[in-house]
Amino acid sequence: MNKLTSTVLALAAAVGTAAAGSIDGKIADSEFQPLLVDQVEAAPLYTLQCNVVLKPDGFYVRHGVDQIFGLVKEFYGDIGVDVDFRFYLNENDLPIALPASFNIVELGIDEIADRIIKPEREKLQFILENASAQALDYKEKLDELRKGEGYSKVTEDFYLEVVATYEDLAVMSKSKLDALDSELDSYYLFRLGEAHLGDNSVFLLNPLSVSLSELTDKLSEMLSNLGYENDSRPESYYVKSGADTVAHEIAHLLGLGHTFDDPNIDDYVSEGLPNLMSYRSVDPAAKYGFDITDRQKRQIVDYFKRLD
């Protein structure tokens, strides 16, 4: 879930520098509304239902739900996938996500911390405490072994290896815990989305929930140095950046990984046109602002073939 440039620009939008979009009350009018966009020319071969809950005052509403999600629908339609976006008022109204039905929820920064970072921290804390206790337990057993009549070098080596394994696990968990303590002000601000493969769900960060006063001094200085306090990007940039984030996270659930994890895929599909699965900024002049390779398109089709 994850674009640095998109995040910086979205944060700039939070201080009122970008034009506002509108959904004309679509979210508030009924339980859900199917997205109203033109049909793509290519007849889709597969159908994917995406159930969406957005913040009424969030990034996607501000910059145009139909425009952003319409681009995503058209992009996947070109691949042969008809994405049926259905918008709900509340997360409790969402149906259970299935292999061909994903749930997408926009969260504020505090909700991200509570629902994603906090559970991860609790899990790592449990691992740390358990690994530390196990290492101590085997050390005590080793001390008893050395004092007893049944001592052998082979058994000692086994206990030492077990102790080392648990100690390494404890050190790794402690390191990740330390990183989580500073993640909310640094790393997580650069992640606009998070795909959860286990339950076929996507969390979208609402950048408008992050004020500049909440940022680290370093990030605030970076924004100022880059001139984003007076950002003059066209509105199409924000629309395509939003579409990029949504399409990127859906692609994760459909089996695509990041470009930096695959040496056979470049960050750019063609000159200046970023790969959807890279962390590169969108090209506002391009149709979608991003694209994927034929190989990646086949991977998406293969996902649906496995469901048949």
Instruction: Give the model confidence (pLDDT) of 100-148 as tens digits.
Output: 899 999 988 778 778 777 888 899 999 999 999 999 999 999 898 888 8
In whole angstroms, give the CA distance from residue 223 to residue 8.
Answer: 7
Pair of tokens at residue 159: 């206990």
User: Regarding predicted confidence, which is higher, 124 or 211?
Assistant: 124
Three-state DSSP at 11 gives helix
Residues of the chain with pLDDT > 70, as a percent, come to 74
Q: CA dihedral in degrees (3, 61, 235, 241; nearest 10)?
A: 20
By DSSP bridging, strand 81-88 and strand 46-53 are parallel
E strand or H helix that includes residue 77: helix 65-79
Instruction: Tell me what pLDDT residue 36 has.
Output: 42
For the chain, the domains span 4-113+185-307, 116-183
For residue 23, pLDDT over 90 is answered with no
In whole angstroms, give the CA distance from residue 196 to residue 185.
Answer: 22
In whole angstroms, give the CA distance from residue 1 to residue 215.
Answer: 20
Pair of tokens at residue 223: 């924004």
285-301 pLDDT, tens per residue?
999 999 999 999 999 99
Q: Which residue has the tokens 């306090």?
A: 229
User: For the residues 198-215, what does the mean pLDDT come to?
Assistant: 69
Packed helices 118-147 and 153-183: angle between N→C axes, nearest 10 degrees: 160
Three-state DSSP at 180 gives helix
Q: Which residue has the tokens 């559970």?
A: 119
For residue 75, pLDDT over 60 is answered with yes
User: What pTM did the predictor assign?
Assistant: 0.68
Instruction: Please give the C-alpha separations between residue 158 and each of 132, 150, 151, 154, 307, in angstroms, as whole numbers.
Output: 18, 14, 12, 6, 46
In whole angstroms, give the CA distance from residue 297 to residue 76.
Answer: 9
Q: Model confidence at 221, in pLDDT bands (50, 70, 90)?
A: low
User: For the residues 67-87, what does the mean pLDDT come to?
Assistant: 96
In whole angstroms, give the CA distance from residue 202 to residue 157.
Answer: 46
Q: Model confidence at 212, in pLDDT bands (50, 70, 90)?
A: very low
Task: Give CATH for domain 4-113+185-307.
Answer: 3.40.390.10
Q: Model confidence at 170, in pLDDT bands (50, 70, 90)?
A: very high
Q: What is the mean pLDDT of the chain?
A: 79
Pair of tokens at residue 258: 């990041």
